[in-house]
Structure 1
């Protein structure tokens, strides 16, 4: 078959162009380090690679959120650890103030120390993250949550919002806790709180309240013990029972049973004196108010006031000690929650790192270049192109005149 010169040139040009294109593609793969230069090279592989890349990017975002949550929770744990120490110091001061040998000046000194602890506690409650965001303010993190008023009381100016962080695909976690749930709340199992009325004039001093019968139908109610005389009292609930309970004879130190609870009162209560036994939630849960009340009681002068003045101080200290214990238990509960969240973040970090490692390995299988194979193919293509070029030159020089 006769091949025209034009056909020969066209076929040679096409063959060398194909070889050059193949060689260029291998060169580009070597330069980019990937075997997929365009989606058209491997449509299915490109689609899978895009999905895996998105998964890796999301994993990086979750990892950043976990890092931020770990940072804020660690700062909260450090602050609550200091709060725990302060509350323990306050409990020790309350025990010290109950020493019957202390004079007014001694109790005033204890009150001054308690005021310092109160100021320190307020400072811890207003802890920020170093960027002007207060940890315990809820959503109102731009301003201090606990603000001292003109009368010396401390009020909560934040809210109960929870700043949630997306720390994993299906897990949102609170990075902090609001101040009300830490400093103005007690646990559901907190003990009863006993207190005496501010206007009591006798020397009656209440003891600890114990639970003796949780099956009592009146268990869980609040009680008021009212003395009609130094030898007679009435124990009634809030709201009052119907019919009203009958008066009972009072004997100093004898246990008084009411609604599955038992309490003893010593000393000599006066007519009109009242004592209240309330659930912890209804007895006042603001730890700042508790400390403020006991400071006022310790600053009250009672020297020369007889057993009646001493009874006021002892009752105030007993009430404060029970409330501080409940607040301390609540702080420990919150710290336990913080620790659990930190442990969960560690576990999620391990899971997330393993998932990212698996995704990166799969992505590498999809698109990373096998350099040994690519280099071998490069030399193969280069040799083929050189052979095509040399063949073209040799055949181009072939003519009948060379053999005449």
Structure 2
């Protein structure tokens, strides 16, 4: 069979072109450090690689969110730790102020110390993240949440929003807590708060309220202990109209008074018309700033040589303040526990995310990464094949009848 010169040249050119193309592809793979140069090289592998790349990118975003959440929650934990210390110091000062040997000057000194703690507490409540964003302001993080008014009271100017962060595929987490839930809220199980109204004129002093029967049908209500006469008391609910719980009963100082699953005792000599409120913590006023302010006012009021009634008002104010601040302290500890739990969860999510990221990158490497030993061996093999094709073409090209005449 005759092979024309034209056919020979075309076949040789095609063979060498194919060899050059294969050699070029191996060179590109080595240069790009991947075995998939185009989706057409491995359609299934390219699709899987795209999905894995997207998973890695999302995991990187979750990791960034976790880092930011960890930063803000750590700042919140540090602030709440300081708040806890301040409240503990305030409670210690209140206990000291109840010492019967204290004079008006001594109590005024304690009031000054408490005022300093009050200002420190406000500063902690207005903590920011270092970038001008206040931790406890809710969504209104651009301005200080706790603002002092002209009369010295503190008003919460933030809201109850929580900035949620997507820290994992199916987990959103609050990076901060609003100030109202920390400084103006009590837990559901907080203790009852007893208080004597300003209008009392007798020397009655109440003791701590204890719970003796949570199954009592009236447990959980607010109560008022009133003295229709100097020698009798009665207990009613604080509802309108009031409901009688304990009818008029002879009063004996320091004797237990039981009602609604609670027990309290009153010492001294209450006057006709005196009342004592025994309210649930949330209805007694949960604002820790107001509680501290009321105690400071009571300590600044002169008591020496003012009579038993003034002494009773001071002791009752200290007892009320101590109970409210204890409830506030317990609430802060609960919030701190929540913050610690979230930090622990972030750490666990971080470990899981790192493992998932490592697994994804390993799988992506299997799909895309080039085996350099195999690629280099193939490169030299194809280079040799190309050189052989070229040399064969040159040799065969020189074969002609005229060379043998």
TM-score of the alignment, normalized to the shorter chain, above 0.5: yes
RMSD (Å), alpha carbons? 1.0
Counterparts of 1:163-312 in structure 2, within 5 Å, are 163-239=163-239, 240-242=241-243, 246-312=247-313
Deviation at 1:229, TM superposition (A): 2.2
Equivalents in 2 of 1:349, 1:185: separation in Å?
A: 32
**Partner residue in 2 for 1:368:** 369
**Partner residue in 1 for 2:136:** 136
**Partner residue in 2 for 1:330:** 331
- Is this contact kept in 1: 2:237–2:244, CA < 8 A? no
| Structure 1: gaps of 5 or more residues | none
Equivalents in 2 of 1:248, 1:356: separation in Å?
A: 73
Q: Structure 1 residue 61 and structure 2 residue 61: aligned? A: yes
Q: Structure 1 residue 14 and structure 2 residue 39: aligned? A: no
**Partner residue in 2 for 1:399:** 400
Counterparts of 1:65-214 in structure 2, within 5 Å, are 65-214=65-214
TM score, norm. by length of structure 1: 0.99
SS in 2 for 1:378: helix
Once the two structures are superposed, residues 314-350 of structure 1 have per-residue CA deviations (whole angstroms, 9 ceiling, x without a partner) of: 0000000001000000000000000000000000001
Equivalents in 2 of 1:222, 1:5: separation in Å?
A: 113
Equivalents in 1 of 2:228, 2:337: separation in Å?
A: 47
Equivalents in 2 of 1:360, 1:217: separation in Å?
A: 62
Please, which moves more after superposition, 122-131 or 217-226?
217-226
Deviation at 1:62, TM superposition (A): 0.2
**Partner residue in 2 for 1:29:** 29
Deviation at 1:10, TM superposition (A): 0.5
Deviation at 1:242, TM superposition (A): 4.7
Equivalenced residue count is 404
- Is this contact kept in 1: 2:237–2:245, CA < 8 A? no
SS in 2 for 1:280: coil
**Partner residue in 2 for 1:43:** 43
Deviation at 1:164, TM superposition (A): 0.1
Once the two structures are superposed, residues 238-270 of structure 1 have per-residue CA deviations (whole angstroms, 9 ceiling, x without a partner) of: 114556853111111111111111100000111
Equivalents in 2 of 1:175, 1:244: separation in Å?
A: 46
Equivalents in 1 of 2:63, 2:80: separation in Å?
A: 25
- Is this contact kept in 1: 2:236–2:243, CA < 8 A? no
| Structure 2: gaps of 5 or more residues | none
Equivalents in 1 of 2:272, 2:62: separation in Å?
A: 67
Counterparts of 1:309-320 in structure 2, within 5 Å, are 309-320=310-321
TM score, norm. by length of structure 2: 0.98
Once the two structures are superposed, residues 190-232 of structure 1 have per-residue CA deviations (whole angstroms, 9 ceiling, x without a partner) of: 1100000111111110001111122222111111111122211
SS in 1 for 2:214: coil
Equivalents in 1 of 2:288, 2:215: separation in Å?
A: 31
Equivalents in 2 of 1:364, 1:398: separation in Å?
A: 51
Q: 1:196 to 1:122 in 2, by over 3 A?
A: same
Equivalents in 1 of 2:216, 2:244: separation in Å?
A: 18
Q: 1:143 to 1:278 in 2, by over 3 A?
A: same
